[in-house]
Amino acid sequence: MRGALEDLVVLDRSGTIAGQFCGKLLADYGADVWLEIPEAEPDIASGGSGQTRTPLDLHLNLGKRRGLPAATPDVVLCAPDENPQATRTEFPVAVVVRITGFGDDGPKAGWRAPEIVLQASSGMMISNGIRGREPLYGTGNRASYAAGQAAYVQILASLRVRAKIKQGDIIRIDAAETAAAMCFPYVLQAIYNGTDRRRGDQDIPAGEVLCRGSWVCLWVYSNRFAALCKFLRLETCLTDARFADAQQRSRNWPAFFALVQEEVHDRDPDDFVAELQAMNIIAARAYRISELRGSRHLQNRGFWRRLKIEGDEFVVPAPPFRMSLTPAIQVGGNADATA
């Protein structure tokens, strides 16, 4: 079947995780994406150069071709230090996209913006961690990936406008603003009623228990508390003054979850979660990264793709969303068609 973006030509010279993730999303759905990275310079996103294949390079650049496209690009993903107006002169009708850390104006214009800076400046880090301890840096380049996805969405919108006015937008994405938007419930709460959410504030009935070496996270709302106690043979908790009502339980969650831990330490984590979900109790296994490949759900959904590229075999995640009429492009096997 035809890819949804099959007629789109994209030049990706962003050299960043955010830009290359945006290019990956376009390539996943059929766009002809060309990766322009001078051979003498390192690829900022992958840390490699030339034909070096790192895991991050595979994730971000699979399905892209290296070099310059023969056709005029419809979309150009600029490097952070690139002048988008000059790029517009070079490609007058292209949608030009530039993702930076803090934009071109304001007190922080031009600041370096690695992930830790984006998380700190957005309010994300101050909400993570244990009460009384330092802010906790969240793993993964979540702000960068969010900025890349924001660029992808805006590109699709701008292409609709370009079809009408025959001129492409210049799109500017500020990764710091994208990161701040990800914390919007806390930010809006502070603006609305002055609530200053702090690390360790326990306003949800949640906890974690260890089952056969894997952590399981539980959310035990009042209407399911009795059911959980009966299921785990903890009926004595129903008459325990420490757990008599929601307010008392919120003060004594560590004591309650210690009792739960004694009952579940030898349970299979996936089976335990499935039993809880069947009882309408919110629960999830906290997978280690090394365990995701064995996830029953992801395997059943066909999330993993096995590809053979340039004689090497790789297992990679599927694209992040599915469409029935124009599915994602299956890449692999042709060395000339991959970055």
DSSP 30-48: T-EEEE---TTS--TTTS-
d(CA 205, CA 220): 5
3-state helix, strand, coil in the chain (%, to 5): 40, 15, 45
Mean per-residue pLDDT, 172-189: 85
| Assigned token pair, 150 | 């924001």
3-state secondary structure of 326: coil
Residue 203's pLDDT band, with cuts at 50, 70 and 90, is: low
Residue 135's pLDDT band, with cuts at 50, 70 and 90, is: confident
Of 291 and 196, which is predicted with more confidence? 291
pTM comes to 0.86
**Cα 165 to Cα 161, 168, 319, distances in angstroms:** 6, 8, 31
Give 317: exposed, middle or buried? Use CB within 10 Å, 0-12, 13-18, 19+: exposed
Q: Choose from 148-162, 247-261, 320-334 the range with maximum mean pLDDT.
A: 148-162
Domain-by-domain residue ranges, the chain? Answer: 9-193, 206-286
Rg of the chain over all Cα atoms, to the nearest angstrom: 24
Given this model, what pLDDT does residue 62 score? 84
Residue 333's pLDDT band, with cuts at 50, 70 and 90, is: very low
3-state secondary structure of 210: strand
CA-wise closest residue to 123 among 186, 77, 71, 41: 186
Residue 186's pLDDT band, with cuts at 50, 70 and 90, is: confident
Given this model, what pLDDT does residue 300 score? 92
Residue 40's pLDDT band, with cuts at 50, 70 and 90, is: very low
Mean per-residue pLDDT, 30-36: 94
Count of alpha carbons within 13 angstroms of residue 192, beta-carbon side: 7
Beta carbons within 10 angstroms of residue 287's beta carbon = 16
Is the confidence at residue 107, as pLDDT, over 60? Answer: yes
Lowest-confidence pick of 130-144, 213-227, 267-281: 130-144
Candidate CATH numbers 3.30.365.10, 3.30.1540.10, 1.10.10.10, 3.40.190.10; the one for domain 206-286: 3.30.1540.10
| Assigned token pair, 195 | 């609530």
Given this model, what pLDDT does residue 184 score? 67
Is the confidence at residue 161, as pLDDT, over 60? Answer: yes
d(CA 160, CA 130): 46
- Angle at alpha carbon of residue 264, lines to 263 and 265, rounded to 5°: 105
CATH number of this structure's domain 9-193: 3.40.50.10540
Is the confidence at residue 256, as pLDDT, over 80? Answer: yes
Q: 45-84, pLDDT tens digit by residue?
A: 554 544 556 788 888 988 899 899 999 999 999 999 999 9
Mean per-residue pLDDT, 110-122: 90
Q: 162-180, pLDDT tens digit by residue?
A: 999 988 999 999 999 999 8
Given this model, what pLDDT does residue 242 score? 94
CA-wise closest residue to 79 among 181, 11, 158: 11
| Assigned token pair, 291 | 């365990």
Q: 8-26, pLDDT tens digit by residue?
A: 999 999 999 999 999 999 9
Given this model, what pLDDT does residue 339 score? 36
Given this model, what pLDDT does residue 323 score? 87
Given this model, what pLDDT does residue 126 score? 81
User: Nearest 5°: phi and psi at 286?
Assistant: -90, 95
Please count the residues of the chain. 339
Give the whole-number percent of the chain exceeding pLDDT 70: 89
